[in-house]
Structure 1
Amino acid sequence: MPSAWTDKTPQQGSSSQVRKALSRFRLSQPSPSEMARLTPRHCLYKTELIKPQRPWKALSDVELSTAEYVDWYNHRRLHGEIGHVPPAEYETAHYQNTQKQQVTATI
């Protein structure tokens, strides 16, 4: 089974794993600051989804579970750093507040 599904590499290599995954899908290489944001999420994804369910039977199983995980992560998971609300709810509130502040009257 490919290592992308089982992840037998040490935790310290997670940054290089993210870079390899991005290049595999022909995505641009992230900047160091982007890597600082990507690596913890990648580790969380592996810890919460990939490792508990391995070994995976097929790539399609990983893809479907990943889509479900991303939906849950963005729409139902409560995040303490943003007031114990899901990211999608927080983002909606942020843009509603931003748009209200930008409304100006024209004479």
Structure 2
Amino acid sequence: MIKTEFVRKRHFTSLEQLTVKLNDYVHWFNNHRIHGTLGYLSPFEYKLEHLKKIV
């Protein structure tokens, strides 16, 4: 699911531009965005911490 914040007030002039911006957004969303529910970690960091506990 794409969050509305990604497309709000944006206009993409080509499929290539959309693809680049979408890839940037997904990278930011998974690797840099912190979330209070996840202990103020990014989803990627949270997953790594969880996997450390399993191994």
Fold in common (TM above 0.5): yes
Identity %: 27
Q: Which has the larger radius of gyration?
A: 1
RMSD: 1.1
Q: Secondary structure at the match of 1:85?
A: coil
Q: Could you list the per-position Cα deviations for residues 78-107 of structure 1 after superposition, in whole angstroms to 9, with x for gaps in the alignment?
A: 1121111100000001001111xxxxxxxx
Counterpart in 1 of 2:42?
A: 86
**Alpha-carbon shift at residue 71 of structure 1 (Å):** 0.4
Structure 2 residue runs of 5 or longer lacking an equivalent are none
Structure 1 residue runs of 5 or longer lacking an equivalent are 1-40, 100-107
User: Which of 29, 42, 47 is matched with 1:73 structurally?
Assistant: 29
**Alpha-carbon shift at residue 67 of structure 1 (Å):** 0.4
For 2:31 and 2:24, the matched residues in 1 are separated by 11
The TM-score with structure 1 as length reference comes to 0.48
**Alpha-carbon shift at residue 59 of structure 1 (Å):** 0.7
Q: Counterparts of 1:7-46 in structure 2 under 5 Å? A: 41-42=1-2, 44=3
**Alpha-carbon shift at residue 51 of structure 1 (Å):** 2.2
Counterpart in 1 of 2:53?
A: 97
Aligned length: 55
Q: Match of 1:60, as an amino acid?
A: E
**Alpha-carbon shift at residue 68 of structure 1 (Å):** 0.3
Once superposed, which parts of structure 1, at least 4 consecutive aligned residues long, lie more than 2 Å away? none
